[in-house]
Chain A
Amino acid sequence: MSAHPDQAPLPVDTSSPAPGQDPVLQIRDLSVVYRTPGGDVRAVDRVNLDLAPGEVIGLAGESGSGKSTLVYGACRLLRAPALITSGSVRYSGRRVTKPVDVLRLSRDELQHLRWREIAIVFQSAMNALNPVLNVRDQLLDVIHAHLRMPRDQARERAASLLDLVGIPRARLRSYPHELSGGMRQRVMIAMALATEPEVVIMDEPTTALDVVVQRDILAQIVELKEQLGFSILFITHDLSLLLELADRIAVMYAGQLLEIATAEEIHHEASHPYTKGLLNSFPSLRGPRRELAGIPGSPPDLRSPPPGCPFLPRCRYGTAACEQVDMQLMPVATSKDPEHVTACPFVLPGTPVPPDAKPQPEAAAEPEAAAEPEATGEPEATAEPEATGEPGA
């Protein structure tokens, strides 16, 4: 792998996300709606999320869950009909003198923040790169827009960025169509890192790639993170990937966060039924074959969200009490992770457990517990007549 020749790693301790450290990005009470003729679509609903320096947070959820809207909202990349209705996004990087609220920045201030402090690797590298510019010109574009640098120094920087992501310098003159999918994604990563941002948002960066390339790129991302010390907010619907990659995982459903915990906790002690369902949705390659269940049904229509827990119609533990649940993230007392929070009160100790619905902390490990007959062959929740209002995720 390439060591960056002329860029000293930033002097920061990235060994582990130290608890208690001030978060570099602090999202508080963020709500986003899409204004549509049919009413407001509540795409993100009062979300709180902290990103510590050097930390990798995985944001998991299915399409339409609002995960992209959440982070694009936090970076103010959304435009009408999307509207941020409440919240604050506090950014406090090493280079800014005092914390700023991203949602209250002026246009110019925003210009300084974007890319320099918070960069994004977009989902489809095929569409995110400009097809009529070669790689070097696209890299130079970023460098000139965000850094003051003489021309030849900028060119050298562009070349060294390719070194950084393991692409031969000869590719500087290549156009996107001449690169493989994996290389294009690496170029996207190089572009995001061009300005040494402190927060890198990755929106399904490997979804379109096959597994071998995906693994190479993820390994590269992890290595670069070690080397440069940025934080990552990683969006994906592939929870199995996050279990390996992320420090902490936030599970999103219908615009709300349902559970946040470390990857280990999510893997072994997931508390929310939706998280458990996700965990039981992907076939495992190794170990004994276990019965897989998936999650029957589809997400609620966010134009008129149901009262209480949005997962209720698909939840096999659901009871009438769930319609009155106040969707608050509360600590899971039995958890080893003090910051493990969940939105399902019925999995907390001391609260009445709905009849014949014992919480199964080890659902993944117990095939017979996971193999509920109703789950596999069930019709898709008699498929709601209304199309599910999917806010463009």
Chain B
Amino acid sequence: MSEQAPTLTSAAAARGPLAMEAVSISKDFKIGHGQTVRAVRDVSFRLYRGAVVALVGESGSGKSTAARLLAGQERLTSGQIKLNGTPVAVRRRSDFRRYKSQVQYVFQDPFASLNPVHTVRYHLERPVKLHGGKGADVDAEVTALMEQVRLTPAKQFLAKYPHELSGGQRQRVSFARALAARPSVLLADEPVSMLDVSIRLEMLSLLDDLRQRFSLAMLYITHDIASARYFADEVLVMYAGEIVERGPAEEITQQPAHPYTQLLVASAPDPDNLGNSVLRGGRKGSARTGSAQPGNGPRPGAGAVAHSQPSVSTAGCPFQPRCPFADDLCQREDPGLLPITATRGAACWHLDVAAPELASGLPGGGRTTTT
């Protein structure tokens, strides 16, 4: 299905050496009655040192599951994860600890991810002791970590409990905790979406700074495609467990190829484009909601399937029930990622209709003929 995927070069590759690779990873969850949900299907991507790859998708698209697979929190159903070129095989506790010292995870909710009965110092000392080895100067390291995430004066903050900190400060602590292990890979699962808009940028620029300073390979999970534009090198768009489009962040956000990416981009609030807004249009009574969306962004009606359901069925394109361009072929067969350029691919049979200006350069004008 996705044999083409490895032939695509990651837009993040130029930044640094390969750190981590997911090779056709899949995860099925058994939900009883003999049914399985295919949360992640045959997903491949690479993380490079000093580069940010964004995984974008709606709730339930499988983006967090993919990250949890990389973090070793879930077992793969199939596929392989490679760290620095070696396949990861975690069999013992000590293996896992060694793995965790390379791969760290930042959780979405800083209100839930810190232990309320422990001080900041405890949260940071533990990983330093666990991963720092003997003879580490714990105090100095903890202080250095606090300075790296700009929680100064460190002494004052180390004595505090999570409830005494603001949301942004808490998330800084969880960044510091992740860095304490001196990882090469940082998996950030919606690290700013619980924070106030006014401090989100600060946190993203802090993450960016840490990425540079420690040359971290970063996976940035988000549903906010606009932040991916600013923060990421490569964007992977996930839908119902599959990567439906991937490519350089600027290209994907400015000229989305896959109908789902187009929908995502069209749905983002866009104050600069008030004249064309569905909401404004609706208010002035000039346009109704639904299919009145300008441009080629498809708009599923309110009554349509409102969520990507990682389904049991495997045939066909996962976006097909919501897609305005869907036909028989889409119902029968999943296209898999089809390359558009060397760094860009989209899983759509009808790129010639969905994104004509992109598809024109392709052999056959993007029209994929099948037998």
Contacts and interface: CB of A to CB of B under 8 A. Distances in A.
Interface string A228-247: 00000000011111011101
Given A212-B267, A237-B197, A244-B279, 20 more contacts: A166-B303, A211-B269, A212-B264, A213-B307, A222-B282, A223-B288, A223-B289, A241-B269, A243-B269, A244-B271, A244-B277, A247-B283, A282-B201, A286-B254, A286-B273, A287-B272, A294-B198, A294-B201, A376-B202, A387-B164
A222 B165 contact: no
A183 B306 contact: yes
Interface in B158-179: 160, 163-169, 172
B194 to A, nearest CB: 10
Contact of A281 (B152, B166, B198): B198
Contact of A1 (B225, B227, B288): B288
B131 interface: no
A1 B263 CA distance: 19
Contacts of A388: 166
A150 interface: no
A165 B131 CA distance: 53
6 contacts: A211-B264, A213-B58, A237-B198, A285-B253, A295-B198, A296-B202
Interface string A203-241: 000000111111110111011011000000000011111
Contacts of B265: 285
Interface in A284-302: 284-287, 289, 292-296, 298
B28 interface: no
Interface stretch (A27-35, A83-91, A106-114, A377-385): A377-385
Nearest to B309: A180
Contact of A222 (B268, B279, B301): B279
B202 A15 contact: no
Contacts of B59: 181, 209-210
Interface string B269-296: 1111110011110110100111000000
Interface residues of B, number: 65
Contacts of A390: 166
A243 B196 contact: no
A166 B302 contact: yes
Interface string B73-107: 00000000000000000000000000000000000
Return the 6 tightest CB-CB contacts between A and B, nearest first: A294-B201, A243-B271, A166-B302, A219-B289, A210-B58, A222-B282
A238 B263 contact: no
B224 interface: yes
A289 B229 contact: yes
Nearest to B254: A286
A285 B225 contact: yes
Contacts of A226: 282-283, 285
Contacts of B289: 1, 216, 219-220, 222-223
B315 interface: no
B306 A211 contact: no
A284 B152 contact: no
Contacts of A165: 302
Contacts of B13: none
A213 B235 CA distance: 21
Contacts of A385: 156
Contacts of B227: 283
Contact of B278 (A215, A287, A295): A215
Contacts of A239: 197
A296 B199 CA distance: 7
B226 to A, nearest CB: 4
A278 interface: yes
A15 B282 CA distance: 11
Interface string A90-115: 00000000000000000000000000
A183 to B, nearest CB: 7
Contact of B279 (A218, A278, A294, A298): A218
B226 A282 contact: yes
Contact of B168 (A2, A277, A380): A380
Contact of B166 (A244, A278, A387): A387
B200 A281 contact: yes
Given A1-B288, A62-B197, A377 B269 contact: no
B29 interface: no
A218 B302 CA distance: 11
Interface in A1-30: 1-2, 15
B297 to A, nearest CB: 10
A244 B166 CA distance: 29
A267 interface: yes
A264 interface: yes
Contact of A62 (B163, B196, B230, B268): B196
Given A1-B290, A238-B197, A383 B278 contact: no
A213 B350 CA distance: 25
Contacts of B277: 244
A245 to B, nearest CB: 5
B205 interface: yes
A245 B279 CA distance: 6
A210 B253 CA distance: 17
Contacts of B209: 377
B283 to A, nearest CB: 5
A182 B307 contact: yes
Contact of B205 (A238, A282, A376, A382): A376
A222 B278 CA distance: 9
B220 interface: no
A131 interface: no
B332 interface: no
Contacts of B58: 210-213
A62 B166 contact: no
Nearest to A294: B201
A338 interface: no
A285 B268 contact: yes
B49 interface: no
A16 B51 CA distance: 49
A217 to B, nearest CB: 8
A283 to B, nearest CB: 4
A247 B250 CA distance: 32
A392 interface: no
A336 B284 CA distance: 20
B157 A383 contact: yes
Contact of B302 (A216, A286, A296, A387): A216
A285 B201 contact: no
Given A212-B263, A215-B267, A283 B230 contact: yes
Contacts of A377: 205, 209
Contacts of B303: 2, 166, 168
B15 interface: no
Given A240-B271, A383-B151, A219 B282 contact: yes
Contacts of A247: 283
Interface string B113-129: 00000000000000000
